[in-house]
Structure 1
Amino acid sequence: MAVTEANHWPCAQCGADLRYAAGQTELKCDHCGFVQAIPAKAPRQKAQALIEHPLAKGLSDDLPAAATEEVRSTSCPNCGAVVEFQGANHASQCPFCATPVVVDTGSHRRIKPQALVPFALTESQARTALKGWLGSLWFAPNSLLEFTRAGRTMDGVYAPFWTYDADTDSRYTGQRGEYYYVTETVNVTVNGKTERRQQQVRKTRWHAASGRVSRDFDDVLVMASSSLPARLGNDLTPWDLSQLQPYSADYLAGFQAEGYTVGLADGWGRAQAVMAGVIENDVRRDIGGDEQRVDQVDTDYSAETFKHILLPIWMAAYKYSGKSYRFMVNGQTGEVQGERPYSWWKISFAVLGAVVLGLGAAYLYDPSIFGASVPDWMD
């Protein structure tokens, strides 16, 4: 994961840092209360910013110079995150493990983000959502519950994603299964005796099937960060991409922004895997019948385009028994995902309690199991 350090905009009134006000279209100064509006983009500017790039040009490194930028970065020696640097700064810390890092001397060119979904949830709202999620976890360590009550701050990060569009045409071969029933005589055991009975048995008759299906895909979303678990990032859905705004550094004031570490080609491969799952469902519907077997699918892709966008995520990290656990809150909807620790003491006590309850219930049902005499009143 490549992460820029927090972006800073000085207040025109007092010189303190402005920050983007989540859910608003303005920057605010926490020191003096000064408010600065974010200039609205003209409809034409917005439309141009959201135009997809031809995928072939991106894969062949043939994009216009205006679509790329030069960045400086370094790898975190502890967790492997790639930290990007702005301006003349040369030192920072990794936002995911707090390890100090110093910028490398080299730089490289990257594809610029075209658009972003601004933060809609404030840190306080995100923390409330996280506390509710953590509080619902079974067998969580007490220290984790204390973590939720301590008012620990969360980091607001704009995470990188690719979106892919494509028109697909797929030819398939397979088999259609249709159920039918036959009457068979079978042996069954009733009260310890074997009896012969007749029953209906379902069978499947298979027929060869072939055909073609077409589907146009729009904005297939792929997380472009390799440092965060893909499951967590992918499960933060849904995202309302109709709220995408043309990229503006103003929305980054007071936040961090990741650079992508999943390249365009790898992201396209993951998008194709997502498309393949949808296409297989289309094929099964086209085959019909009661069951389907899909033997082969050959897909042609056309009109392939992509965008590089940033999506808002509130993040927190927690250490337990020497291991780090990460929590993520969708900064647009409040959906929570995370890694969770278990308290083995709580699990052990729960298991022990269940055993004790089980033994108690068994004793009440039949004390003789434990070699005890049965009281007269229970006889």
Structure 2
Amino acid sequence: MEPSIQKTELKKPCSNCGAELKYKPGTTNISCEYCGHEELIEVSETGFEELELYPYLKEMGAQRHSEEISMLHCKNCGANQHVEENYKSLHCVYCSSPLVIEDAYKEEWILPGAVLPFQIEKKQSFLIFQKWVNKLWWAPNKLKKASLDPQFTKGLYLPYWTFDAQLDAKYTGQRGIYYYETKKVRNAQGKVVTKTVRKTRWYPASGRVSGFVDDTIIKASNQRTGRIPNKIARWDLKKLQPFHNNFLAGFVTEKYTIPLSEGHLRSKDVAKDIAKRWCRRDIGGDTQRISSMDMRLTDETFKHILLPVYVSAYRYKGKEYNFFINGENGQISGSRPYSFWKIFFAVIFGSLLIGGIVLLAQN
């Protein structure tokens, strides 16, 4: 029997030349890189499907809205990446270590409910990376050379959970109102001066707040995604599209490693912070104290979503560096190595230059 091919692994050939069609960033089309033929991705008109949370927590999501996909585990950095079956070999998007298709294994995952497709093309992201590298002072020449090779930049979809819920919280606390008193004190020089002191009058407060918490976003991977800087980890979720596997064509997809149950616990911590902000706003005054809070979440739903990032990996003197570009808005951030010799010769040159200036001044 031939092995079954899963939905997320199906490759659509070009009707003109037979080459693989890949997603064209910034559009709802898949296109052929060879002959330019394009086809429309038929996304669902009904929008996203919000899945009921507790049935999934009970059944672990193994029965419904899930499927089996091929994965490769990077032995160097630990990242799990979804592998397209047409690759004979490839490299890890995080550390560039070789991955071999024969090492692939099957794993169940909860199907994404939505995806934010790449809005900028790989060529554009490479130019952003190259421009960023050229601005780095004291960067090694090898890094400059690496920035000239597009193969170091790869598109990656990152997994996240989003949670929706109706929040209701009862609280008790205190409302603080500022007032000011003036008094005479002796300063450090021994002089008596007038000083204004701020004080607070506290009044009891209690009440109830409620509202809808929409799209609490929780990262769904403990692996290399943990290194993605906060600077670029912001996406416009209004651009989310109902999931279609054609949006993934030509890109790597990282599988979630934080289970739904753990993601839910983290979302509850975020909901508590939101509830406290609502309570403080409801208490009013100049400052607030919350003595107790009883929070309840109802009508809880979730989605598994994929968000776009371009990644470039580079090794220098045995150490790994990563550069990240937000695939939606082009924001870039990353770590960088420094060239010892460039800094050393710059210091020597600077010292000689200062010495020369001093000698000229003396003469």
Q: TM-score, normalised by structure 2?
A: 0.82
Aligned residue for 1:172, secondary structure, equals: strand
Secondary structure at the residue paired with 2:190?
A: strand
Indicate the residue corresponding to 2:74 in structure 1: 76
Q: Pick one of 25, 28, 31 that aligns with 2:31.
A: 28
Cα RMSD, aligned residues only: 3.5
From the superposition, tell whether residues 351 and 196 of structure 1 become closer, same or farther in structure 2 (CA, over 3 Å). farther
How does 1:299-338 map onto structure 2 within 5 Å?
299-338=295-334
- 2:42 corresponds to which residue? 40
CA shift for structure 1 position 88? 9.1
Q: CA deviation at 1:216?
A: 0.8
Question: Aligned in 2, Cα 1:217/1:14: closer, same or farther, shift over 3 Å?
Answer: same
Give the match for residue 198 of structure 1: 194
Q: CA deviation at 1:102?
A: 5.4
Matches within 5 A, 1:184-333: 184-189=183-188, 193-230=189-226, 232=228, 235-333=231-329
- What CA distance in whole angstroms lies between the structure 2 residues aligned with 1:110 and 1:323? 32
Query: Does structure 1 conserve the Cα–Cα contact (< 8 Å) formed by 2:93 and 2:313?
Result: no
Query: For the Cα contact (< 8 Å) 2:152–2:313, is it kept in 1?
Result: no
Alpha-carbon deviations, 1:221-257, whole Å to 9, x = none? 2221221243626543442223222222222222112
Aligned match of 2:157: 158
* Structure 1 residue 28: Cα displacement: 2.5
Larger Rg: 1
Letter in 1 for 2:27: Q
Unmatched 5+ stretches in structure 1: 364-374
Q: Percent identity of the aligned residues?
A: 38
Q: CA deviation at 1:157?
A: 1.4
CA deviation vs aligned residue, 1:310-332 (integer Å, no higher than 9, x gap)? 12211111212311121221211
Which letter maps to 1:222? I
* Deviations 1:286-318 (CA, angstroms, capped at 9, x unpaired): 222222233333210001000112122111112
- Partner AA of 2:117 in structure 1: P
Counterpart in 1 of 2:22?
19
Q: Give me the TM-score of the superposition, normalised by structure 1.
A: 0.78
Alignment of 1:107-186 (within 5 A): 107-137=106-136, 140-186=139-185
Partner of 2:56: 58
Checking the alignment, whether the CA contact within 8 Å between 2:93 and 2:311 is kept in structure 1 is no
- Cα 1:346/1:222, change in 2 over 3 Å: farther
**1:177/1:289 contact within 8 Å kept:** yes
Counterparts of 2:289 and 2:133, CA distance in 1 = 42
Structure 1 residue 272: Cα displacement: 2.1
In structure 2, relative to structure 1, the CA distance for the partners of 1:226 and 1:146 (3 Å cut) is same
Partner of 2:5: none
Aligned length: 350
* In structure 2, C-alpha distance between the alignment counterparts of 1:163 and 1:142, rounded to whole Å: 42
The unaligned stretches of length 5 or more in structure 2 are: 1-7
Does the alignment pair 1:95 with 2:65? no
Q: Classify 1:56/1:104 alpha carbon distance in 2 versus 1 (closer, same or farther; 3 Å).
A: farther
Greater Cα shift, 163-172 or 251-260:
251-260
Equivalents in 2 of 1:341, 1:258: separation in Å? 26
In the other structure, the counterpart of 1:366 is: none
Conservation of the 8 A alpha-carbon contact between 1:172 and 1:298 = yes
Name the stretch that deviates more: 177-186 or 160-169: 177-186
Change in 2 beyond 3 A, CA 1:168/1:355: farther
Distance 1:72 1:250 in 2: 16
> CA shift at 1:36, angstroms?
3.1
1:7-62 CA deviation, whole Å, 9 max, x = no partner?
8543333333332221233333223x141312423xxx331x61200010111126
CA contact (8 A) 2:171 2:208 kept: yes
Q: Is residue 185–residue 197 contact of structure 1 (8 Å, CA) maintained in 2?
A: yes
Q: Which stretch of the first structure deviates more once superposed, 138-147 or 238-247?
A: 138-147
Residues 183, 294 of structure 1: alpha-carbon distance in 2 compared, 3 angstrom cutoff: same
Post-superposition offset of 1:121: 0.3
Q: Is the 8 A contact 2:220 2:263 kept in 1?
A: yes
